[in-house]
Amino acid sequence: MTTVSNISSASTTGTSSTSAARIADNFDQFLQLLTTQLKNQSPLDPLDTNQFTQQLVQFAGVEQQIKTNDNLASLLTANKTANLNNALGFVGANVTADGTTTSLQNGKATWQINAPKTGTATITIKDKSGNEVYAAQKVITAGDQSFVWDGRTTSGTNAPAGEYTIVVAARDAAGQAMSIKSEISGTVDNVDVTSEVPVLKIGDISVPMTSVKSIRR
């Protein structure tokens, strides 16, 4: 014999769409069963109405959860489509983004750095493998400024084209360490949308779309 507890248990199984259909079917069965039991209850041993009320609440809660999950899935799909359309708009544009790694091309690699105060900095350039290829001290001023590396290594040779990372260790006039922000710029060649956040490709450099600070054409 079908019981109320069996119906409630069945309503929580299956996928979202299947569960929604089961909820509707089981809810009708539940009401029919409730009505039948109420009609045939013994006056000397009445049914516990609190139990039925509790299971009605459970039905409503599960149904609401299924609807919420469906709505959330729709929102995620719409958001992914919007991100894709936005990302495609970056192709061919010149962007500036937070980052420390850029490309050395035609004997030139450029970073934008920002210092909170005037001071001195030890600027180190590392290759893709993390090896130090260049290091020098430089006076930096407060605010935005460019650092252009001509590709010459500390030993005096020309570094090959490729990816290079800047590391800036700076101190102000009082000798206190300063946090230096760095940005890179370049033209977006294509967009990788396989991850949750679209990734812009500037040559071989990957830049999350959320790191972009400015865009121009």
Rounded (10°) CA dihedral 37, 42, 46, 52:
-10
Domain at 107, CATH number:
2.60.40.4070
pLDDT 10s digits, 150-204: 999 999 999 999 999 999 999 999 999 999 999 999 999 988 878 778 889 998 8
Domain boundary among 29, 54, 88: 88
> The pTM is what?
0.60
**Co-location of 154 and 136 in the same domain:** yes
173 CA to centre of own chain:
39
In which domain, by residue range, is 42 found?
4-88
**Co-location of 63 and 139 in the same domain:** no
**Co-location of 130 and 180 in the same domain:** yes
Domain boundary among 88, 111, 138: 88
Q: Give which of 103, 98, 142, 140 is closest to 123, Cα–Cα.
A: 140
Number of domains the chain contains: 2
pLDDT 10s digits, 24-57: 556 666 667 667 766 777 776 766 667 667 766 7
Domain boundary among 58, 88, 118: 88
**Co-location of 122 and 78 in the same domain:** no
d(CA 126, CA 136): 12
